[in-house]
């Protein structure tokens, strides 16, 4: 018999590889439900509404916050982000393992409202490697990269707030460790 579905929150600094690790987990275990966040930022090339994010305007986001429709929400890098509460609750009630890929402030909010959630911090092998990854993306100007690195220092300092730590020195190995923590049957 499988353990009951539990909410797992994966957090860590930008560039730690959260998206890559989550993609590896989902390739192996498509039954893991990944929440789709709401954001006020504009879609990047290739992003589709309802797939990578739900793209909404500031007014709709504020309405969702006021109506307590978001499990967590935060604003950074000039945009707001949040996790719709109802789909998370529905999936957990159905026994489906749920994974959230969110930032530090969001993880803290989830901990406050769902104390039984498992919080997992994904760390880069080193700060230098994190900087290399962020610069290597080539998707943002140097000022935004500096902002992300400044934010990363704060996030890395908070890793003790998490239940588990995974160092992402290899995507497949990090995905293996996350699957083990989620207690997903192979």
Over residues 158-170, mean pLDDT: 95
Q: pLDDT > 70: what percent of the chain? A: 94
CA distance 117 to 92: 11
| Predicted pLDDT at 14 | 81
Cβ(153)–Cβ(15) under 8 Å? no
| Predicted pLDDT at 77 | 76
Q: Report whether pLDDT(180) > 60.
A: yes
Q: Report whether pLDDT(68) > 90.
A: yes
Q: Where are the beta strands (DSSP E) in the chain?
A: 7-11, 33-34, 37-39, 53-55, 70-76, 79-84, 98-101, 118-123, 164-167
Which class would CATH give 7-182?
alpha beta
| Predicted pLDDT at 181 | 95
pLDDT band with cut points at 50, 70 and 90 for residue 185: low
Where do runs of H (alpha helix) occur along 38-80?
A: 58-66
| Predicted pLDDT at 4 | 60
Rg (CA), the chain: 16
| Predicted pLDDT at 1 | 44
CA distance 82 to 71: 7
Chain-centre distance for alpha carbon 134: 17
- Domain spans of the chain, in order of start: 7-182
Q: Report whether pLDDT(2) > 60.
A: no
Per-residue model confidence as pLDDT tens digits over 81-135: 999 999 999 999 999 999 999 989 999 999 999 999 999 999 998 888 777 777 7
Q: Report whether pLDDT(163) > 50.
A: yes
């Amino acid at each position: 018999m499988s353990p009951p579905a539990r909410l797992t929150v994966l957090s860590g600094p930008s560039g730690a590889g959260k998206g890559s690790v989550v993609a590896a987990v989902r390739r192996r275990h498509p039954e893991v439900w990944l929440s789709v966040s709401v954001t006020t930022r504009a879609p990047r090339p290739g992003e589709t509404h309802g797939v990578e994010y739900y793209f909404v305007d500031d007014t709709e986001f504020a309405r969702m916050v006021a109506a307590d429709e978001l499990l967590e929400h935060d604003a950074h890098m000039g945009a707001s982000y949040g996790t719709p509460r109802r789909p998370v609750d529905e999936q957990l009630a159905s026994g489906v393992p749920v994974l959230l890929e969110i930032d530090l402030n969001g993880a803290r909010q989830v901990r406050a409202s769902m104390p039984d959630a498992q919080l997992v911090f994904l760390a880069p092998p080193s700060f230098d490697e994190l900087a290399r990854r962020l610069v290597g993306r080539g998707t943002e100007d140097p000022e935004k990269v500096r902002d992300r690195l400044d934010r990363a220092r704060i996030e890395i300092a908070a890793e003790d707030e998490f239940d588990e730590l995974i160092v992402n020195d290899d995507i497949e190995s990090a995905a293996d460790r996350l699957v083990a923590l989620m207690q997903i049957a192979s």
